[in-house]
Structure 1
Amino acid sequence: MGEVYPWQVTLWQQLAGRRQHAHAYLLHGPVGIGKRALAERFMASLLCLKPNGLEACGTCKACHLLAAGTHPDNFVLEPEEADKPIKVDQVRELVNFVVQTAQLGGRKVVLVEPTEAMNINASNALLKSLEEPAGDTVLLLISHQSSRLLPTVRSRCVQQACPLPSTEQSLAWLTQALPESSEAARAELLRLAAGSPLAAVKMHEQGVPAQRAQVIEGVKKLLKQQIGPSQLAESWNAISLQLLFDWFCDWAQLMLRYQLTTDEQGLGADDMRKVVQYLAEKTPQRKVLQIQDWLLAQRQKVMGKANLNRVLLLEALLVQWASLPGPG
């Protein structure tokens, strides 16, 4: 069963405390706030043969089978490989599961994550099951970017927003999760994770703060013409494209904001503040808008798992970034 996070207490009561359950739920919200844990906890409660109030008992046959990953009335749909799309053939397997009779005589429960990993064909294949699931079936859909889902998918689900915990809740939890880290380091991780505490822990494990420092150092050398775009792009092989485009999109937005407001308080994090201000003051606004549009378009492709040539994409980014200061 999924971990119980302190910021989910009210959300859990709203979700599991319903007198009658819908046939499909869409749990949506930012990455790294515990939506999967919430869904797994809900799934356990729905499958349990002897629930204890809102919670699964943990001792019945259904609970034991679920814990062992062998419950015959449970189906989990995920990409076959990390960061790959969910294929239409996988959805067809789900559809076949839904029309079968529950083997333990209770509910069947399906969990899909991330729902936006389904392409249009896969999403359309799921629609019939979402609209009229056979028997007592509950589908739990998890989405980190619900705006990317087909409207026909969203409209067939009870939508449950999963908001970010407060900064205080997140930092208190991170104190327990990362006791060896300093208070300042935990606050920096939470900022890098856009307020998502579980994402902050994952970034800590992946060494993201050091990667960001490497990227910023590289950007500074690029602007000083101490390194070329090709060499710099190759040196970032170990860094996620998603992270890189998140950071560059953020910096472009901060540059534009400063050009419009000249507010030095709105220059973002200290580690890139001076560079952002320098670029904003030296770059024509037209060029900032152009690179912002380009970055957003490429970021969308990265998020959509498009088949991209990583090195060429980063070289194109860095060539444009190096040419920002000055007329043009």
Structure 2
Amino acid sequence: MAEVYPWQETLWQQLAGRSQHAHAYLLHGPAGIGKRALAERLMASLLCQKPNALEACGNCKSCHLLAAGTHPDNFVLEPEEADKPIKVDQVRELVEFVVQTAQLGGRKVVLLEPAEAMNLNAANALLKSLEEPSGNTVLLLISHQPSRLLPTIKSRCVQQACPLPSEAMSLAWLAKSLPDLGDEERADLLTLAAGSPLAALRLQEQGVREQRALAVDGVKKLLKQQVAPSQLAESWKALPMNLLFDWFCDWAQLMLRYQLTQDERGLGLADMHKVVQYLADKTPQSRVLAMQSWLLEQRQKVMGKANLNQVLLLEALLVQWAALPGTDRR
């Protein structure tokens, strides 16, 4: 049974309480807020033969088959490999499933995640099934980045924004999930995860605090000219590129914010307060804007899984970062 998250209860009552369901839902929102769990919970309820109130009973034949991963009327579509696209052949298998008759006599339910992983051919192959699914079929699409979806995909679904929990609710959940950490450590994790509690938990499991400490220490040594950009880039090969570019984009944004407001409360996490403030004071705003533009462009390539030379890209980043401080304040 999928975990029930407290910040989803209102939405759950709305979704599961419907007397008639749409043929396709697009559940969207930031990664790490429990969209997959919500979809799996709804999928179980839709397939259950004897639902208890709004929930799957967990005891009928359908529930047992779903729990075993052998339900004949359930189809889960994901990339064949992590961070790879969903291919058109995979979607064609889904289409073949949709046109079949439900073997248990009830609904057929499809879960597709992430929807934005479909390449253009795959997305086009899905359109017919989204518009006119056969029989009593419900398609549940999950998207972390709905802006990357074709408008024709979005228009054929009931689009449902999934709620981001409040900071207090997220911290309370993290306190139960990570009881060995202190309040400040959990708050820092949540900040690094852009407010998404499940993402914060995954980051902790990946050792993000240690990775962050390594990156921050390297940046400080770079600015003190204690390490060369090429050396630092080589030493960062094991660090996730997406995290590094997230952090550098964040630091550039914090520098701009401080230049505009002079508000020391807006300097981000404490580990980079002094560095962000120093760079904001010493760097021309035009240079910060140019740095931010370059970072965002490269970050898109990293997120798009472009074939990049990691060390060379990091060295280019670090050379520019080291050159930020200057006397021209124009």
TM-score bracket relative to the smaller structure: over 0.9
Quote the offset at 1:234 in angstroms.
Answer: 2.0
Match of 2:195?
195
**Separation in structure 1 between the aligned mates of residue 277 and residue 198 of structure 2, nearest angstrom:** 31
**Separation in structure 1 between the aligned mates of residue 227 and residue 122 of structure 2, nearest angstrom:** 44
Deviations 1:76-133 (A, max 9, x none): 1111111111112211111111111111111111111111111222211111111111
Match of 1:158?
158
**Separation in structure 2 between the aligned mates of residue 52 and residue 21 of structure 1, nearest angstrom:** 17
Contact 1:85 1:305 in 2 (8 A): no
Contact 2:108 2:137 in 1 (8 A): yes
Match of 2:28?
28
AA aligned opposite 1:321: W
Match of 2:254?
254
Residue 47 in structure 1 maps to residue 47 in structure 2 = yes
Contact 1:30 1:163 in 2 (8 A): no
Contact 1:101 1:135 in 2 (8 A): yes
SS of match in other structure, 1:160: strand
SS of match in other structure, 2:268: coil
Quote the offset at 1:30 in angstroms.
Answer: 1.1
Contact 1:257 1:266 in 2 (8 A): yes
Contact 1:190 1:196 in 2 (8 A): yes
**Separation in structure 1 between the aligned mates of residue 181 and residue 222 of structure 2, nearest angstrom:** 32
1:250-289 mapped onto 2 (5 Å cutoff): 250-289=250-289
Match of 2:13?
13
Contact 1:115 1:142 in 2 (8 A): yes
TM-score using structure 1 length: 0.97
**Separation in structure 1 between the aligned mates of residue 229 and residue 97 of structure 2, nearest angstrom:** 50
Match of 2:109?
109
**Separation in structure 1 between the aligned mates of residue 80 and residue 270 of structure 2, nearest angstrom:** 40
Contact 1:86 1:122 in 2 (8 A): yes
Quote the offset at 1:264 in angstroms.
Answer: 2.0
Match of 2:84?
84
Contact 1:62 1:71 in 2 (8 A): yes
Query: For structure 1, which runs of at least 5 residues remain unmatched after alignment?
Result: none
Quote the offset at 1:304 in angstroms.
Answer: 2.1
Match of 1:230?
230
**Separation in structure 2 between the aligned mates of residue 88 and residue 282 of structure 1, nearest angstrom:** 51
Match of 1:99?
99
AA aligned opposite 2:233: A
Match of 2:65?
65
Match of 1:305?
305
How many residues matched? 328
Quote the offset at 1:136 in angstroms.
Answer: 0.9
**Separation in structure 2 between the aligned mates of residue 131 and residue 303 of structure 1, nearest angstrom:** 30
Moved more, 40-49 or 142-151: 142-151
**Separation in structure 2 between the aligned mates of residue 327 and residue 123 of structure 1, nearest angstrom:** 51
Contact 2:188 2:269 in 1 (8 A): no
**Separation in structure 1 between the aligned mates of residue 265 and residue 106 of structure 2, nearest angstrom:** 57
Quote the offset at 1:163 in angstroms.
Answer: 1.7
TM-score using structure 2 length: 0.96
AA aligned opposite 1:23: H
**Separation in structure 2 between the aligned mates of residue 237 and residue 84 of structure 1, nearest angstrom:** 21
Deviations 1:270-316 (A, max 9, x none): 11111111111211222111111111111112222222222222121
**Separation in structure 2 between the aligned mates of residue 107 and residue 31 of structure 1, nearest angstrom:** 28
Contact 2:7 2:163 in 1 (8 A): no
The Cα RMSD (Å) is 1.3
Quote the offset at 1:327 in angstroms.
Answer: 5.8
Contact 2:8 2:163 in 1 (8 A): no
Match of 1:168?
168
AA aligned opposite 2:220: K
Among all aligned residue pairs of Structure 1 and Structure 2, give the percentage whose two residues are the same amino acid: 80
Match of 2:181?
181
Structure 1 runs (4+) greater than 4 angstroms displaced: none
**Separation in structure 1 between the aligned mates of residue 187 and residue 263 of structure 2, nearest angstrom:** 23
AA aligned opposite 1:30: P
